[in-house]
Chains A and B, each alone.
Chain A
């Protein structure tokens, strides 16, 4: 969807006029405020400000009396689209344009090669609020790497930032040179230096990578982090089922097949995986005023990026332009690869409204570590897989957010729109 800017102002005005006409014909008792509100947004769009304060209801005025929480205005910087990021997996044979990548065989092993650069850039974290970031390939969170268990992940890393950086993977890594810390291997890479990291994709699960330069707080919270997803290999699961369950009892053939089936649904190379809607979410936060506390929280960088544009709390809601819910098909299984990159706070959390989910901590097991919960918490670098099923829910908006109210009200507040 286009953002509201000079170019689209006429467009927006036209649509609002249309909406106004419709509401006038549909409802005899249209409130004067609705009319003025709509004209207001057209006016502000014309001067490039943007606004989403459109009241879709004429009989419920609480929202306007109490004010409505949420960030004012739309995102003008469209370089990063949090909706695209949700499903942007870089596997070597397909992925994002800003991540040069290839996949090939080497000594009987699949190699997934990626080119990473660290750059100094400016990102938008709330409408009109910019943040000076250090970013892998110019984006925060960094690109999501996806491999299959046992593959070799080869990252050709070049540091183009003015500070020294590394990439440290949260993988089972047998070679200390590849750990990406200042004290091992090449150490920190100064401006212009390059190094090729090689990591075996293990264990299966959802993992975290980040810069390990010092000061660590600065290097992480400036944006140098991302997700590595290691898909389980169904054949390996069939041979070693015990490695994928936290369960001491006998492994029956049925159970084994169930685990293999689950592994196939997790593995992007299997057809079973296509039946699942997979999303990557990195819970992150930003300290804009250097006080060691965060001013903005989000899932995937943008405050209220998955928020509803406007609602009166009575089910009458209007999706925004750049702030809008994640639309999901109720008949699809939903899977969230969730990790926590939040700096300065001890924990972050994920809570779903009107729904319970299964949680696989670190994603390293094929049976849930927490079954039927609606809230989980993660410390920094902790991650896990959330599986949600909305098939028996009525269509509509279902909220999900951090259940630290403070974080939610500072931006980490989102919606699924179930259709």
Chain B
């Protein structure tokens, strides 16, 4: 290892010299483009001569995913399918509960053949019964079958203003109101000593940490239903890192501004907004879950569930306002904005989830939420440190643990 490190250090000095003297006296842009041009050439030769044609062994396996199903009427079943395999597949027959059944394929260019990565709807006229599971199988031209069970079917709501209104009311109750109520702790938080304020901040970090795990597990779970061609798990990883690095980049840019003497950028308000955005993204995912439950006809939003959501989300209020406890109290409009950014996405998520549900969208939004939350925790740690506190003091660690514990307990009330 040490040898290699030494080698690379030696190599590292070579390009430094080349920067100055280009070989053959070519301009710099030519040496930048040359590898790309050569790669294009090699690809071209490979594609036209196919030197590895004899290497292939057997046919690639067909792979079709049923991402989700909708039931627009009690006489119709719609399967949303995607071809994940490297070759075209033809859906020749459909079995419903082990009986051949009438069907048509929509959105595949008029035939029943799906090109790789192509999605389509299989529409089956079938008088299903609410609550009675349906086992549907797609029979491909070469005889392979792909099964999907519709558990306890119930009619999909479809688009209506009434539904949007209902989801808005639900979002108001489970998102906006609890966050706003939680923010009412602000005057009390303001009177706290530094030590306790930091504890509250770490409590908030614990809350967010729990949400990150919660959303992360859910994202990976959902990723299993993402068509294989879209690499659900990697999409989640990309979402998490993407959001984390993007928000961190903005944060680093802000720090640059602070160093340059911009007062506005140094206030706790900035972190409060970041926390609000992180929580907002999490609540967006929560809304997606509620909305998609509607879309899939799997809703039992009883009073108990709404109460669970409210208890769960009320802890997010102090997390938002704790960063602004020191210094000048921000104006009321900032508080309103913080509340809306943190809470209102539940409504938006509900709408998206109910209208344009797909596991891919769901997993991606959840992943973004996780990334944003992780960045916020990074930020909170920095805030405590900047204020001269010790992040890992006993009080703070216990406060973090308490945050996790409170979320765990209140999460038990939320079973969607």
Contacts and interface: CB of A to CB of B under 8 A. Distances in A.
Nearest to B132: A290
B133 A290 contact: yes
B97 interface: yes
A266 B99 CA distance: 40
Contact of A214 (B98, B99, B131, B134): B99
B129 A215 contact: no
A228 interface: no
A224 to B, nearest CB: 14
Contacts of B131: 132
The contact size tier of chain A is: 10 to 19
A119 to B, nearest CB: 14
Contacts of B96: 215
Interface in A180-218: 214-218
B135 A163 contact: no
A135 to B, nearest CB: 14
A292 interface: yes
Contacts of B129: 132, 163
B131 to A, nearest CB: 8
Contacts of A163: 127, 129
B97 A217 contact: yes
Contacts of A132: 129, 131-132
A164 interface: yes
A296 B7 CA distance: 75
Interface string B81-96: 0000000000000001
A292 B131 CA distance: 15
B412 to A, nearest CB: 27
A292 B98 contact: yes
B115 to A, nearest CB: 32
Interface string A276-300: 0000000000000111100000000
Contacts of A291: 133
B208 to A, nearest CB: 40
Interface string A66-106: 00000000000000000000000000000000000000000
Contacts of B134: 290
A356 to B, nearest CB: 38
A218 B128 CA distance: 10
Contacts of A292: 97-98, 135
Contacts of B135: 290, 292
Interface string B117-146: 000000000010101111100000000000
Given A163-B127, A164-B127, A215 B99 contact: yes
Given A290-B132, A290-B133, A292-B135, A217 B127 contact: no
Interface in B132-174: 132-135
Contacts of B132: 132, 290
Nearest to A216: B99
A217 B133 contact: no
A242 B54 CA distance: 74
B103 to A, nearest CB: 14
Interface in A141-185: 163-164
A292 B135 CA distance: 9
Nearest to B98: A292
B153 to A, nearest CB: 10
Nearest to B99: A215
A362 B198 CA distance: 86
Nearest to B96: A215
Nearest to B74: A162
B37 to A, nearest CB: 60
A314 B133 CA distance: 44
> Which of A132, A217, A218: most chain B CB closer than 10 A?
A218
Contacts of A216: 99
Contacts of A218: 97
A218 B127 CA distance: 11
A125 to B, nearest CB: 15
A291 B131 CA distance: 13
Contacts of B97: 215, 217-218, 292
A214 B125 CA distance: 12
> Which of A217, A218, A290: most chain B CB closer than 10 A?
A290
A214 B101 CA distance: 10
B193 to A, nearest CB: 57
A132 B132 CA distance: 10
B402 to A, nearest CB: 42
A223 to B, nearest CB: 13
B133 to A, nearest CB: 3
B66 to A, nearest CB: 17
A133 to B, nearest CB: 12
A313 to B, nearest CB: 39
A140 B119 CA distance: 44
Nearest to A218: B97
Interface in B313-331: none
A123 B97 CA distance: 23
16 contacts: A132-B129, A132-B131, A132-B132, A163-B127, A164-B127, A214-B99, A215-B97, A215-B99, A215-B101, A216-B99, A217-B99, A218-B97, A289-B133, A290-B134, A292-B98, A292-B135
Interface of A: 132, 163-164, 214-218, 289-292
Given A132-B131, A290-B133, 8 more contacts: A132-B129, A215-B96, A215-B101, A218-B97, A289-B133, A290-B134, A291-B133, A292-B98
In the A-B complex, list the 6 residue pairs whose CB atoms are closest, starting with the nearest.
A290-B133, A215-B99, A163-B127, A290-B132, A215-B97, A292-B98
